[in-house]
Amino acid sequence: MNQVTAKKILESNIARTIGCTDIGVVGYIASIGAYILRNQKIHSIHLTMSDELYKNSVNVGVPGLRKSGLNQALALGVLLKNPKEQLSVFESVTNNDIEQIESLLKEISVKIEHHKYDDTVLYEELLMTSTDGDEVKIVIKDHYDNVVSVVKNGEKMPEFERKALIDRVNQNKILSYDEIFDFVEKNDFTGLEELFRIATIQYENSSEEMKKIGRNYLVENLTDSQKSCTNEISNFLKEHIEVSSKKRMIGDIFTVYGVAGSGNLGIGTLVTPMFLSDAYNLSQKKREQLIVLSFYTSVYVKQEMNIVTVLCGTGHATGCSSAASFVFSKEGTRKQIKDAINLYLSTSMGFVCDGAKVSCTYKVSFAAMNGMITGHMVMDQSISCDGFGLNKTNVDETIKNLGRLNNEILNTANKGIISLI
């Protein structure tokens, strides 16, 4: 992996979001429609979603409302009319907007349905009509911000469309874990300055929020004995990730940067190396190496888990990046990093996704915590996987098995999960 490829992977795997990404795309698509019909009164909204997108948006808090509701998210998008903000469309919400939601919903006919699509797991189609008889149809597919079609009264409006991202993502795949480690060791991160800036913002936001609520889990609260105890320091890390994740999942206005399509993964992936760097007083060079290692480890795992199923991709990727970061921060070898990832995955293959909601806060924070612990086990006891079952002695094979479990074997299980929730 060279600097050009690394930068392209960064650009296609990181995005600024407000609230849960899955609810953000609901507000985004409504905002596009309302902007196009901005001088007219909205008569009806018909939203069709893929099963997977519905599962991950129906129970999460709408930013500013602190409660769930797809119809409220649609109404808020209509009121904001700001599609330029894309997945951060909710950032500008005001109390006045919130007060207008219920009255707006009394005036608009809203229908929401969801289906299984064979060719994609992320599909959202919105048909919006005005009282004047105009209509606009918008389709988002494959990626949260990938607007593939906007049609008003039968006429295409290409200025709102964005070129499909899937081909670009596939052209810049990570081929093996050695490719990541070689890149980290070369330590030439030209073009990745934005990644370091975002990691700093993510970590500072988490620390500031902990100060506001009086949680004594900041790095400066760590004693020397706690710094030498992995269980203690991993608990501090868990708190950093939990506080940020909870803010966005309950619907507070809280900016995060998503990684590989997940805001919670962005928190786990970027807060972890920053926290470890502060806790262990690492050099700036080491900090940047940790950030890069953590980011591309998460992207590699999610790259193989390329469709949404009942497995929690955020948890798997967070645990792997945390394990890798911890071992690297302790001067572990390449083999030890691979073993730590392998060991974490041996305990998490059954990490199930039952829809996005507040408890995801604990999944992602515990994943980071347990990733650190598996890293400690490898460093302290030279533990490694025996190669039986889904986990192989080669970490690349293990991650590919995780991808096959996710993409092929459990692909049809979403329907059952949706029926339970």
Report CA 119 to chain centroid distance, whole Å.
Answer: 22
Q: Average the pLDDT over each of 3-7, 98-102, 304-308 and give the range with the smallest value.
A: 304-308
Give pTM, 2 decimals.
Answer: 0.81
- Two tokens at 156? 């295409």
Contact in structure between 40 and 131 (CB atoms under 8 Å): yes
Q: What is the mean pLDDT of residues 53-79?
A: 87
Going by C-alpha positions, the residue among 256, 273, 274 that lies closest to residue 371 is: 273
Burial of 388 (0-12, 13-18, 19+ CB in 10 A): exposed
164 or 70, higher pLDDT? 70
Q: What digits encode the pLDDT tens for the residues 373-393?
A: 999 989 887 777 777 778 888
State the pLDDT confidence band at 167, using cuts at 50, 70 and 90: very low
What one-letter code names the amino acid at 4? V
Given this model, what pLDDT does residue 250 score? Answer: 82
Report CA 143 to chain centroid distance, whole Å.
Answer: 12
* 384 contact partners, CB below 8 Å, separation of at least 6: 339, 342, 343, 378, 393
Angle between helices 193-212 and 284-304 (to 10 degrees): 100
Contact in structure between 403 and 355 (CB atoms under 8 Å): no
Given this model, what pLDDT does residue 163 score? Answer: 52
- Two tokens at 309? 């199923």
Q: What digits encode the pLDDT tens for the residues 96-155?
A: 888 888 889 999 999 999 998 888 888 999 999 999 999 999 999 988 888 999 999 998
Contact in structure between 84 and 164 (CB atoms under 8 Å): no
Residue 37 pLDDT exceeds 80: yes
Contact in structure between 77 and 63 (CB atoms under 8 Å): no
Residue 58 pLDDT exceeds 90: no
DSSP SS3 for 161: coil
Contact in structure between 202 and 271 (CB atoms under 8 Å): yes
Mean of the per-residue pLDDT values for the chain? 87
How many angstroms separate the CA atoms of 230 and 373, rounded?
7
Given this model, what pLDDT does residue 338 score? Answer: 94
Residue 160 pLDDT exceeds 90: no
How many angstroms separate the CA atoms of 157 and 146, rounded?
15
Structural domains of the chain in order of their starting residue, each with its CATH number: 21-167 (3.30.1330), 173-420 (no CATH)
- Residue 407's Cβ-side half-sphere holds a number of Cα atoms within 13 Å equal to 15
Q: What is the mean pLDDT of residues 276-304?
A: 95
Residue 166 pLDDT exceeds 70: no
Where is 112: in which H helix or E strand? strand 109-115
Q: What digits encode the pLDDT tens for the residues 95-111?
A: 888 888 888 999 999 99
Given this model, what pLDDT does residue 171 score? Answer: 58
State the pLDDT confidence band at 242, using cuts at 50, 70 and 90: very high
278 or 352, higher pLDDT? 278
Contact in structure between 90 and 80 (CB atoms under 8 Å): yes
